[in-house]
Amino acid sequence: MKAKRLVVFTALLGCLLAACYTVPQTGRSSFNIIGASQEQHLGVSAFDEIKKKETVSSNSVHIAMIERVGKRIAAVADQDIPNAKWEFVLFDNPQANAFALPGGKVGVYTGILEITKDDAGLAAVLGHEIGHVAARHGAERMSEQMALAGLATGLAIGLEASGESARTRNLSLLAFGITATGFRVLPHSRQQESEADRIGLTYMAKAGYDPKESIAFWERFRDYNKKKGGAPPPFLSTHPADDKRIADLQKLLPEAEVYYKTSGKGQ
Ligand SMILES: [Zn+2]
């Protein structure tokens, strides 16, 4: 038993020493000790859980829109997310929300469609959410939690790689920003947010959507939140400081415009 533990610990240590992931599009080195295939597996099972709890929409016009825009973003993001089996599901839920999980699993809540308005607005949201996946932000958060937990959870995950326990599953839901009870979206760090913005802007432009529409979306979203008042909706709490975000996106616009013009797709 002792020997086995030592082997696992040594493997984990080796993993730690080489625990870097270079984020596509930005080149940032992030701390990551979760294997890509395991991360994907966790993403897919988290998505299955969500599909069981949420109501899948039957609005064929909206479903067609999600798939049309989703496929164009996915075609660009595909090289950054190897082995993704893309799936875009619209949930009947009034929350202004959307999310993407490792493995290419994307959920959109009907509540956000009144703010996205058109294909380009939706492309801004999907680009951002898929940007989180390309940057492997969920696995990064999970790695940080494991490091903080003194590797105990890491050992558990290493030993249970073949079949995830309820504990592992809960951890993955948490890491991907969704709690097991009610799928409340947890805030990403500010760094992860602006990174997803940057990747998302690039993706939408390369997919042939005018990147200026990203700024228009975030302005509509800011206004929606102001009008709504009261407690911020989940999407807002994960996406703080709307004005700062819009200002940062403005700075990135010239580069994105070049991608848009050379995409050869137009809208
Ligand atoms: Zn985000």
pLDDT in tens, 25-66: 889 888 888 888 888 998 999 999 999 999 999 999 999 999
**Quick check: is 4 in a domain?**
no
Distance CA 164, CA 157 (A): 8
Tell me the CA–centroid distance for residue 59 and ligand 1, in Å: 26
CA angle 184, 103, 86 (to 5 degrees): 100
Query: Quick check: 120 pLDDT over 70?
Result: yes
Query: Quick check: 186 pLDDT over 70?
Result: no
**Quick check: is 48 in a domain?**
yes
Q: Which residues surround ligand 1, an ion (CB under 5 A)?
A: 196
**Quick check: is 245 in a domain?**
yes
pLDDT given at position 227: 82
**Quick check: is 3 in a domain?**
no
Tell me the CA–centroid distance for residue 39 and ligand 1, in Å: 18
Element (DSSP H or E) covering residue 25: none
pLDDT given at position 185: 44
- The CA-atom distances, in angstroms, between 55 and each of 14, 107, 134, 240, 250 are 43, 11, 27, 28, 36
Give the β-pairing of 29-31 and 87-91. Answer: unpaired
How many domains does the chain contain in total?
1
Tell me the CA–centroid distance for residue 125 and ligand 1, in Å: 9
**Quick check: is 210 in a domain?**
yes
**Quick check: is 267 in a domain?**
no
Mean pLDDT computed over 246-250 = 94
- Look up the pTM and report it: 0.80
What amino acid positions are annotated as catalytic residues? 129
Tell me the CA–centroid distance for residue 61 and ligand 1, in Å: 26
Element (DSSP H or E) covering residue 63: helix 60-77
Domain that holds residue 14: 9-262
Q: How confident is the model at residue 179 (pLDDT cuts 50, 70, 90)?
A: very low
Contact between residue 47 and residue 104 where contact means Cβ atoms under 8 Å apart: no
pLDDT given at position 11: 46
**Quick check: is 221 in a domain?**
yes
Return the minimum-mean-pLDDT range out of 52-61, 63-72, 136-145, 167-176: 167-176
**Quick check: is 47 in a domain?**
yes
